[in-house]
């Protein structure tokens, strides 16, 4: 049975729109074919950054003839009911209708409608332009001189060419001829923008996919994902790194290239003093790169963060390896010295205080009061904070029955 090949080639489609757009194209076209009386065996959609493609197998060459009966009013019905029946049945006069008899209802009109089948090429040529004009892009644009006219073609990016061929495997397929806003369908497509920009004449899907592969275009998006993931894992393993896998990023990167190639690079250490999470976020969101980490070595103890990022863009990729300095090399701040204030004869205090001593002047700093009940001092050292907010220790000046688990006896 005949097969249908359809390709809509344009400027680069945003990666986030490609999968849904290909699914919408398949649904809209197959639904239209079925409504027109055509059946098919299988349909599959494909997409790259610059094209949406559809392969429909086992499509009928011609729709079936349709014969139906439309029951009308009684022969004694008023003229208004008869005219409504003629409009519904598409008849010019009541003479074209047949009269049927029923023992209970009497005589009534019946219209016998016979619709001959149509060639599949004719149905496709009528269906595809309407689908293109009404395609549900989240965002679309107009371009060129025709954009000034009302009702001009809108597409996500400027539409450049249309491939539409139809025919059985045993015969030469034909081009389904139609035109939309000056773009006429044909059997010529183009390969990779830089590696193989020349025209390619195609016949059916198998021929189409093979010639695109030779022209540096991997048509299957899932296969592009497999290539990117396998090559990234291999490069990371060869450099002693572990790949930080990201399915969302992989889906996006596969929609940025038609011929993926993965490379590795590195950043200078001076730019890597920010947290690893921030580095990973900006590389993922802005550079569309993959990150790797260096495995933990038993001799190193704590892992030294290291990452690799790979960008796949326009059929090529770059990657970067970077490392943050270890936290143990950071300078430590000297702690404040703390001395307890000398007790004043063991007297009670209604508002006990704790004094903090400066390590340089050897003089007590400002005291901090706490409104506790009148009691004798506990006389133990408690963790606390100085006025500047730095952690330190001071003598506990609260009541003698203090039960804090953080205290230690002096």
pLDDT tens per residue across span 227-261: 999 999 999 999 999 998 999 999 999 999 999 99
Q: Which residue has the higher pLDDT, 31 or 293?
A: 31
Helix (H) or strand (E) holding 273: none
The angle, 0 to 180 degrees and rounded to 10, between the axes of the packed helices 15-35 and 120-133 is: 140
pLDDT band at 270 (very low <50, low <70, confident <90, very high): confident
DSSP-derived letter for residue 360 is T
Q: 86-141 pLDDT, tens per residue?
A: 888 888 888 888 888 888 878 888 888 888 889 999 999 999 999 999 999 999 99
Both tokens of 145, joined, read: 């001189």
Looking at residue 392, its pLDDT comes to 54
Looking at residue 402, its pLDDT comes to 53
Give the best-scoring range by mean pLDDT among 201-205, 331-335, 369-373.
201-205
Sheet holding 51-57, edge to edge: 42-48, 51-57, 3-10, 159-167, 174-175
Task: For 191, list phi and psi in degrees, rounded to 5.
Answer: -85, -150
Q: What is the mean pLDDT of the chain?
A: 78
Looking at residue 161, its pLDDT comes to 97
Q: Please give the angle made by the CA atoms of 227, 232 and 233, to the nearest 5 degrees.
A: 105
pTM, two decimal places: 0.68
Give the best-scoring range by mean pLDDT among 273-277, 320-324, 357-361, 379-383.
273-277
Q: Which residue has the higher pLDDT, 40 or 295?
A: 40
Looking at residue 266, its pLDDT comes to 83
pLDDT band at 380 (very low <50, low <70, confident <90, very high): low
Q: Please name which of 197, 208, 216 lies closest in space to residue 261, comparing C-alpha atoms.
A: 216
Q: Which residue has the higher pLDDT, 395 or 139?
A: 139
Checking phi first, is residue 117 left (phi over 0); if not, alpha (psi -120 to 50) or beta?
beta
State how far the Cα of 297 lies from the Cα of 304, in Å rounded to an integer: 9
What are the boundaries of each domain within the chain? 3-62+119-214, 67-115, 221-328, 333-410
Q: Please name which of 392, 3, 338, 368 lies closest in space to residue 167, comparing C-alpha atoms.
A: 3
pLDDT greater than 80 at residue 375: no
23, 288, 319 from 264: Cα distances, Å: 34, 13, 4
- How many other CB atoms are found less than 10 A from the CB of residue 59? 22
pLDDT greater than 80 at residue 62: yes
pLDDT greater than 50 at residue 354: no
pLDDT band at 64 (very low <50, low <70, confident <90, very high): confident
Helix (H) or strand (E) holding 222: helix 221-238
Looking at residue 364, its pLDDT comes to 47
Both tokens of 175, joined, read: 């081009």
Rounded to an integer, the average pLDDT of 317-334 is: 39
Q: 211-221 pLDDT, tens per residue?
A: 999 999 999 99
- CA 143 vs. chain centroid, Å, equals 26
Q: 148-162 pLDDT, tens per residue?
A: 888 889 999 999 999
Rounded to an integer, the average pLDDT of 26-37 is: 95
Helix (H, G, I), strand (E, B) or coil at 30: helix
Q: 300-316 pLDDT, tens per residue?
A: 544 344 433 333 333 33
State how far the Cα of 192 lies from the Cα of 208, in Å rounded to an integer: 14
Looking at residue 131, its pLDDT comes to 96
The stretches of 9-155 forming alpha helices (DSSP H) are 15-35, 79-89, 120-133
Please state which of the ranges 85-99, 156-170, 360-374 shows the lowest mean pLDDT: 360-374
With a pLDDT cut of 90, the percent of the chain lying above it is 46
Rounded to an integer, the average pLDDT of 275-299 is: 83
């Amino acid at each position: 049975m005949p097969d249908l090949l359809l390709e809509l080639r344009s400027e680069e489609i945003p990666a986030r729109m490609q999968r849904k757009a290909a699914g919408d194209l398949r649904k809209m076209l197959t639904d239209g074919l079925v409504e027109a009386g055509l059946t098919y065996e299988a349909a599959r959609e494909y997409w790259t950054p610059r094209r949406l493609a559809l392969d429909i197998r086992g499509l009928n060459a011609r729709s079936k003839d349709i014969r139906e009966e439309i029951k009308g009013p009684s022969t004694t019905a008023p003229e208004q009911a008869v005219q409504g029946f003629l409009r519904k049945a598409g008849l010019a006069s009541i003479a074209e209708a047949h009269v049927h008899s029923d023992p209970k209802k009497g005589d009534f009109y019946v219209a016998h409608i016979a619709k001959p089948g149509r060639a599949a090429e004719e149905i496709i040529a009528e269906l595809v332009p309407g689908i293109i004009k009404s395609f549900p892009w989240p965002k679309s644009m107009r371009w060129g001189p025709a954009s000034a006219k009302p009702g001009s073609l809108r597409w996500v990016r400027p539409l450049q060419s249309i491939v539409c061929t139809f025919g059985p495997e045993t015969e030469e397929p034909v081009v389904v001829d139609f035109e939309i806003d000056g773009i006429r369908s044909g059997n010529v497509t183009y390969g990779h923008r830089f590696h193989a920009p020349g025209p390619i004449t195609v016949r059916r899907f198998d021929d189409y996919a093979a010639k695109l592969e030779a022209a540096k275009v991997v048509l299957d998006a899932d296969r592009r994902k497999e290539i990117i993931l396998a090559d990234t894992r291999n490069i990371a393993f060869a450099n002693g790194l572990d790949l930080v896998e990201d399915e969302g990023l992989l889906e996006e990167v596969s929609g940025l290239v038609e011929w993926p190639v993965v490379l590795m690079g590195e950043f200078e250490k001076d730019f890597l003093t920010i947290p690893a999470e921030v580095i990973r976020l900006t590389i993922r969101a802005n550079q569309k790169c993959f990150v790797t980490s260096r495995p933990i070595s038993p001799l190193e103890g704590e892992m030294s963060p290291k990452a690799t990022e790979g960008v796949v863009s326009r059929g090529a990729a770059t990657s970067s390896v970077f490392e943050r300095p270890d936290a143990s090399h950071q300078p430590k701040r000297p702690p404040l010295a703390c001395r307890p204030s000398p007790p004043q004869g063991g007297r009670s205090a209604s508002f006990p205080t704790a004094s903090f001593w400066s390590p340089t002047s050897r003089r007590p700093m400002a005291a901090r009061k706490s409104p506790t009940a009148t009691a004798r001092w506990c006389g133990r050292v408690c963790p606390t904070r100085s006025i500047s907010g730095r952690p330190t220790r001071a003598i506990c000046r609260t009541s003698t029955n203090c039960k804090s688990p953080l205290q230690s006896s002096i």
